[in-house]
Structure 1
Amino acid sequence: MIEIKNIHKEFDGRVVLADINAAFQQGKVNMVIGGSGTGKSVLLKCMIGILTPEKGAVLYDGRDFIKSDLDQVKEIRREMGVLFQGGALFDSKTVLENVRFPLDTLTSQTIEEKNAQAMLCLQRVGLEASAHQMPSDISGGMKKRVGIARAIVMNPKYLFCDEPNSGLDPLTAVKIDLLIQEITKEFNMTTIVISHDMNSVMRMGEYIMFLKDGHKVWEGNNTNLLLSDIPDLQEFLSTKLT
């Protein structure tokens, strides 16, 4: 489980996140939704340590990530997998080398062990045949799958996905959603997805938090999302479902 308590973040005096509280459950796909500029990606960056909030706590199974010493921060980071919005693959590395990268930097395994682990993850996302291709030689959907393989190569407890369907056609987006759901259950991870894709939200949202202007306005799941009478949420849904 990941808990966030009273997360508050400002930039030059402008409040971007205002005392956000939430509990993200293990073994479920947890989603953070909202329009552009509502603080979704800032929240993710605070949770994974790219940004530091002015106040608040981020608890990984009870461990306060923000207040942890360097050794515990490293330990928690080893338990994270991150799928960045643009894929963030290294153009100069093969698919296999991209997936292997966290093992290269964070473990002392032999090259044979690292290659074997990376290949297992590529097999899990159906890309073992593309192991020796370069990122420039594969499609956008395949790049996202490579990103997922890299994100799970360390057998993480926590998976973060920033707009995983950005730039994908609808059919490929469905495949990525299903893959995220499957690996969440398979590895019993706490998965957090940042998204504005309502199709994905309705498919995957076992827990959903809606942000508006840096405030948490609503939380629930995909079965009661459309039943909400919160005006800000209704307005957001009306722009996404038309």
Structure 2
Amino acid sequence: MIEIKNIRKAFGDREILAGVSGTFKPGDTSLIIGGSGTGKSVLLKCMIGLIKPDEGEVLYDGRNFVKADKELQTEIRREMGVLFQGSALFDSKTVLENVRFPLDMLTDMSMAEKIERAEFCLQRVGLGEAGDRMPSEISGGMKKRVGIARAIVMNPKYLFCDEPNSGLDPLTSIKIDQLISEITDEFQITTVVITHDMNSMLEIGEKIMFLYQGQKLWEGDNSKLTHSNIPELNEFIYANKLLRETEHQ
């Protein structure tokens, strides 16, 4: 379980996060949504340690990541998997080598063990035959799946996905959503997804946190998403519906 408590972050005079709190549970696909500049990406970076919050706590199963010493922070980071927005694959490495990379860097497993684990993860995301291919030889959706395989190769307790459907067509987006949801449930991972994708909100949002101007204005599951009395949330949803309809025309 991940708990965030009163997270505040400012850059100069501009307050980005104004005391955000929440809980993310194992086995749930939790979404953080909001328009551009609302603080959702900064919140994610505070959670994974790329940015240090000015105030507040980030607790991983009770362990305070913000105040942890270097040894404990390293221990917690080893339990994280991260899918970056652009997949962030190494162009010079094969698909299998990309998935194997965290094992090369962070474990003392034998090469045979690392290859076996990487191949298992590729099989799990439906790319068992793609290990020898280069990133330039696969589609955008396949790159996302390689990114997911790499994110889970260390058998993480916590999975973070930053705009996993960015740049994908609607059908591929649905497949990526389903894969993230299945893996979360199968391995009982605590999954946090940053997204503005309407389909993701409606299909896999077991818990949704809506940020507006650095504050949490609403929290609930996807069954309640379109029935809130929050004008800012309703406007956000309406704008996304229009965008999806335009994309389908």
Q: 1:200 and 1:30 mapped to 2: Cα distance?
A: 10
Offset of residue 100 of structure 1: 0.3
- Give the structure-2-normalised TM-score: 0.96
Structure 1 vs Structure 2 CA RMSD: 0.6
Question: Residue in 1 aligned with 2:66?
Answer: 66
> How many angstroms apart in 2 are the aligned matches of 1:73 and 1:231?
39
Q: Partner of 1:129 in structure 2?
A: 129
> Which position in structure 2 is the counterpart of 1:11?
11
The aligned counterpart of 1:198 is 198
> Which residue of structure 2 aligns with residue 79 of structure 1?
79
Aligned ranges 1:16-165 → 2 under 5 Å: 16-165=16-165
d(CA) in 2 for partners of 1:117 and 1:234? 44
Matched AA of 2:163: E
Aligned to 2:217: 217
User: SS where residue 115 of structure 2 aligns?
Assistant: helix
Q: Which amino acid aligns with 1:163?
A: E
**Deviation (angstroms), 1:94:** 0.4
**1:121-149 CA deviation, whole Å, 9 max, x = no partner?**
00000111110110000000000000000
Q: Which runs of 4+ in 1 moved over 3 A?
A: none
1:129 alignment partner, SS class: coil
* CA distance in 1: counterparts of 2:217 and 2:198, whole angstroms: 17
Q: Tell me how far apart the structure 1 counterparts of residues 13 and 119 of structure 2 sit (CA, whole Å).
A: 47
CA deviation string 1:142-175 (max 9, x = no partner): 0000000000000000000000000001111110
- C-alpha displacement of 1:33: 0.2
CA–CA separation in structure 2 for the residues paired with 1:128 and 1:234: 42
Aligned length: 242
TM-score, normalised by the number of residues in structure 1? 0.99
Structure 2 portions without partners, runs of 5+: 243-249
CA distance in 2, matches of 1:226, 1:218: 12
Distance in 2, matches of 1:59 and 1:226, equals 30
Cα separation, 2, equivalents of 1:240 and 1:138: 29
Percent identity (aligned): 66
The offset of 1:235, in angstroms, is 1.2
Q: Secondary structure at the match of 2:129?
A: helix
CA distance in 1, matches of 2:169, 2:232: 28
User: What stretches of structure 1 of length at least 5 have no aligned partner?
Assistant: none
- Amino acid of the residue matched to residue 104 of structure 2? D
2:184 maps to 1:184 = yes
Deviations 1:182-211 (A, max 9, x none): 000111000000000011110000000000
Q: Which amino acid aligns with 2:92?
A: S
